[in-house]
Structure 1
Amino acid sequence: MRKVVFISFIISLFLFPEQIRAQVADSSFVLKEQDYLELVLANHPLAKKAENLVEYGEFSVLAAKGGFDPYLFSKNKQKYYENKNYYLLSNSGVSLPTRLGISVQAGYDWNEGEYINPENNLPETGLWYAGISVPVLQGLLFDENREALQKAFVDRKYYENEAQLLLNNVLLEASNYYWTWVQKQYQKSIIEEAYAFAETNFKNYKTAYEQGDKPAIDTLEAYIQLQNFSVQRQQLSNELESARLTLFTYLWEESISPLEEQSLRAPSFENISINHLDSLRTNLPLFVEDHPELRKYDLKINKLQVENRMKREKLKPKLDLSYNILQTPSTSFSEIRGLDNYNWGLSFSFPLFLRSERGALKMNNIKLENTNYEYQQKRLSIKNKARQYEFAFKNITDQLNTYESVVTQYKRLLKAELRKFEIGESSIFLINYRQQSLVSAEMKLIELKAKYNMYYRQWLHSLGAKPELWMAQ
């Protein structure tokens, strides 16, 4: 009778492990990957860094636009010696650079003194002036300010792209740690069940040996099995704790302080939606063309093209024309004389050999050509890497399906062995062997399930998928 009860307990322990797991886990909180990744994106310091990168790009554009800000100026120069005012020269005004290359300016001149140069003689009330300055050749179509602004627009996209790359790397690393934690928790559960089985087995054999029903060798065999599972349980306890602590390094509160540790439970494993998998395969060319790593080269090429345009502009002669109308201060429109009074200026310069300018342009062309080569190589590399992870994911999916069948068959073998033992046609050696084989298969199955999810995330990462795709199942 004792033997029948013993065997019935062993069978129930192995055939209904889910009920035991549910009873143990009721007091803990289930942490789903989607909730976990949302917390990472919301509060992790590196996610905050990504937000700052986007803002940095916006401020770089703001700084470049400063090249077109109007500015006030005032120049004053006086010489006073031995109670004599030799001269006092004063020039104040406002200048407005424009995106057309033309500068508009207006101001007021007022000079006085006993020894002032004739060219600086002005009416007692001074002179108002207003006019423009035009770079007729070099600088008319493109100049340093417009170059800086266009490069800032490229930089803004660059920092947005860097933010996405940073988020993708954070998501991949966080996801890998998450599934490592899930794997260790499930494997720990399997070993706990196996240990409980071996412990009960040993106690029953020990009692049977003391009552003279079983030989001592059976008790020793049961004890060795118990010790083996005890070692595995201790090892997995350490690995699970390490995985749990690593998981919490990615969990932060809004105040940028680490989230308080709490009891967490892994969710059940679920298969990825076929629609999502088909979408990844079908849209591979689109993912490649829009990949953040590839966009880095696009933006680098755009920036070099802007620099090229500026260097070509430097090949032109400098010919700057300025023109200002002059007017004495007046409160009556009838006294305004229109264009009768003015000053103008013309300046010209041109290096005869243009060696510096031509050399800089040639070097920039080589940079541009080399970047195009790098772009083509990176494009092929991204495409092949994505296909590698697609193949790896398909391969792990096939292995997973196979091992699910293997575990089912090992359960049948153990169940059959227990039935044979019940009628006296088996031994503790065979039962331990069947149990060890089943535990190894279950551990491998959990490892494959974790890899299944990891490989899917690595596939997403290789495609440069945006964060919203990481949340979809």
Structure 2
Amino acid sequence: MKKLFLFFSILLSVNLSGQNNVLSLSEYIGYVKEFHPIVKQARLVSTEGEIKLLKARGAFDPKISVDYDRKKFKKTEYYDKLNTTFKIPTWYGVEFKANYEKNTGIFLNPEANVPDQGLYGAGISVSLAKGLLMNDRMATLKQAKLYTQQANAKQRLLVNDILYDAIVTYFEWLKNFETQNTYDDFLKNATNRLEIVKKSFDAGDKPAVDTLEANINFKSRQLDLEKAKLVYIKSKLKLANFLWLENNLPLELEDNIVPDIKTLDNVDTSLNINNDVVSILNVNNHLKMKSLNYKKESLLVNKRLKFNNLLPRIDLEYNFLTPKFNELANFDTSNYKGGLNVYIPLFLRKERAELKLAKLKLQDIDFVISASRMDLNNKMRTIDNEIASTNRQSKILTNLVVDYQKLVKAEERMFILGEGSLFRINYREVKLIETRLKLIDTKNKFLKSKASLYQMINNQDQSDEKNKTIQ
């Protein structure tokens, strides 16, 4: 009861229709967007990407290190060594460094001897081949940025998939509601017809077989209605899976909550579909294509890294040295510490294999992109054709329903006048029921096509379209 009260307290714009409360499509979508747990969970995907990006940027953080080592034995100071270093990594394979070194003691290694006040140094290390234009640090940061963009695209795709499923479920609920109403209407007709036939039999105007046939028709309509009610209840329970409140509280729909029977007339407004929005549809702007392109760019970064690993490692380091801190700004090339490290694998089998694997992954993603582009193109054409075709079918079926209704009424008049038969009335009515159900089913297919169009529109990344960067 508490959940029901809470539901009606937040349902601000419920339309009343008789004793039923109408849940419109736009209201329903609003609650799914706001409270559905999977929609909330999807937002974590982009958060994860931002965290990974922050982690990758940490590789370029400045670093301070302090090494202190001392040995004293039997009142003799063997050594007391202090070495502090401050490093600043940069985007390319260049690293700036400043350090201070002070060493004392009797048993110092001669190369560790420094002036009494210590020794200051400032310098640079450069990777001249491998690691200059591309290295693990650079690749990780680039891939993290691409992963963040890809994660945002995946998040929107996931949310739009949930919204699509929710909308289709609403349309199924509406279809089953109209089907139930259809069988309910014809049960009333069967009930009235049975009463009329009974009265005619009592008056001696109709044979007993007519009452039997009317009763059979009445029971058949009862059975059809019960089946329709069961299907309707199932669809309503399925719909409730998409309705939640705050604090992940599931919502249960009461029996008097019904769908909006005017959904077909208002579907474009509820889904915000118009010609201007439809005109921007472009396969290249689809979030799936964007996600795949981000993945391809990440693989290209990986390929460049693997290619760079084929180069020899040549690291050059130069450090200017001075015993006075205030002299750091005045370089004296005669006081320095430098070095050159060269590392060249002879066969490069590991590096060549990794490069080939990187190229294979790029070929694979190219195949996926081509197949996805074709699939999305065909899907867009299919949606257009479905909307146009189901719209034409609905008009034809509407006319057929009107014609069958006229036939049933004509047969009923002839039956009352004693010229027709109950069998022919039932036969005509069965065809009328079949046609009405076909009309309901066709309208449902039309609405589902609109849902697919809505999903296709929402899956468009319009940022590039606004900037006119998509070719």
Length-normalised TM-score, structure 1: 0.85
Q: 1:44 deviation in Å? A: 1.2
- Aligned: 1:325 with 2:317: no
Deviates more, 1:63-72 or 1:296-305: 296-305
1:150-299 maps to which residues of 2 (within 5 A)?
150-262=142-254, 263-267=256-260, 268-270=262-264, 286-299=281-294
**Aligned counterparts of 1:280 and 1:387: Cα–Cα separation in 2:** 16
Q: 1:282 deviation in Å? A: 5.6
Equivalence for 2:94: 102
Deviates more, 1:399-408 or 1:30-39: 30-39
Equivalence for 2:418: 424
Report Cα offsets for 1:430-454 as digits up to 9, x if no partner: 3222322222221221111111111
**Aligned counterparts of 2:161 and 2:413: Cα–Cα separation in 1:** 52
**Aligned counterparts of 1:249 and 1:335: Cα–Cα separation in 2:** 70
**Aligned counterparts of 1:294 and 1:201: Cα–Cα separation in 2:** 60
Deviates more, 1:359-368 or 1:144-153: 359-368
Code of the residue aligned with 1:389 in structure 2: it is: I
- The equivalent position to 1:406 in structure 2, one of 396, 400, 407, is 400
**Aligned counterparts of 1:78 and 1:306: Cα–Cα separation in 2:** 46
Q: 1:64 deviation in Å? A: 1.0
Report Cα offsets for 1:312-352 as digits up to 9, x if no partner: 2222222212222333356xx48986435332222122223
- With over 3 angstroms needed to count, the CA separation of the structure-2 counterparts of 1:373 and 1:396, relative to structure 1, is same
Code of the residue aligned with 1:172 in structure 2: it is: Y
- The equivalent position to 1:307 in structure 2, one of 302, 308, 313, is 302
- The equivalent position to 2:388 in structure 1, one of 391, 394, 407, is 394
Code of the residue aligned with 2:417 in structure 1: it is: I
- The equivalent position to 2:105 in structure 1, one of 113, 116, 119, is 113
Equivalence for 2:4: none
- With over 3 angstroms needed to count, the CA separation of the structure-2 counterparts of 1:278 and 1:336, relative to structure 1, is closer
What count of residue pairs does the alignment treat as equivalent?
441
Percent of paired sites with the same residue: 29
Length-normalised TM-score, structure 2: 0.86
SS in 1 for 2:84: strand
Q: 1:294 deviation in Å? A: 2.4
Report Cα offsets for 1:185-229 as digits up to 9, x if no partner: 011111111112212222333344345443322211111111001
**Aligned counterparts of 1:31 and 1:334: Cα–Cα separation in 2:** 79
Decide whether the 8 Å contact of 2:286 with 2:460 is kept in 1: no
**Aligned counterparts of 1:389 and 1:125: Cα–Cα separation in 2:** 80
Equivalence for 1:350: 344
Equivalence for 1:6: none
**Aligned counterparts of 1:177 and 1:203: Cα–Cα separation in 2:** 39
- With over 3 angstroms needed to count, the CA separation of the structure-2 counterparts of 1:349 and 1:424, relative to structure 1, is same
**Aligned counterparts of 2:274 and 2:397: Cα–Cα separation in 1:** 21
SS in 2 for 1:345: strand
**Aligned counterparts of 1:456 and 1:341: Cα–Cα separation in 2:** 77
- With over 3 angstroms needed to count, the CA separation of the structure-2 counterparts of 1:25 and 1:237, relative to structure 1, is farther
Deviates more, 1:191-200 or 1:209-218: 209-218
Code of the residue aligned with 1:241 in structure 2: it is: I
SS in 1 for 2:244: coil
Report Cα offsets for 1:4-63 as digits up to 9, x if no partner: xxxxxxxxxxxxxxxxxxxx9522222222222222122212211221112222222111
SS in 2 for 1:255: helix
**Aligned counterparts of 1:70 and 1:280: Cα–Cα separation in 2:** 48
Deviates more, 1:450-459 or 1:81-90: 81-90
1:16-165 maps to which residues of 2 (within 5 A)?
25-165=17-157
Decide whether the 8 Å contact of 1:386 with 1:463 is kept in 2: no
- With over 3 angstroms needed to count, the CA separation of the structure-2 counterparts of 1:448 and 1:334, relative to structure 1, is closer
Unaligned runs of 5+ in 2: 1-15, 463-471
Code of the residue aligned with 1:431 in structure 2: it is: I
Deviates more, 1:24-33 or 1:301-310: 24-33
Q: CA RMSD in A?
A: 2.7
**Aligned counterparts of 1:188 and 1:429: Cα–Cα separation in 2:** 24
Q: 1:269 deviation in Å? A: 4.0
Unaligned runs of 5+ in 1: 1-23, 469-473
Q: 1:462 deviation in Å? A: 5.9
Q: 1:76 deviation in Å? A: 2.3
Q: 1:458 deviation in Å? A: 2.9
Decide whether the 8 Å contact of 1:382 with 1:462 is kept in 2: no
- With over 3 angstroms needed to count, the CA separation of the structure-2 counterparts of 1:407 and 1:315, relative to structure 1, is same
Decide whether the 8 Å contact of 2:286 with 2:461 is kept in 1: no
Code of the residue aligned with 2:294 in structure 1: it is: L
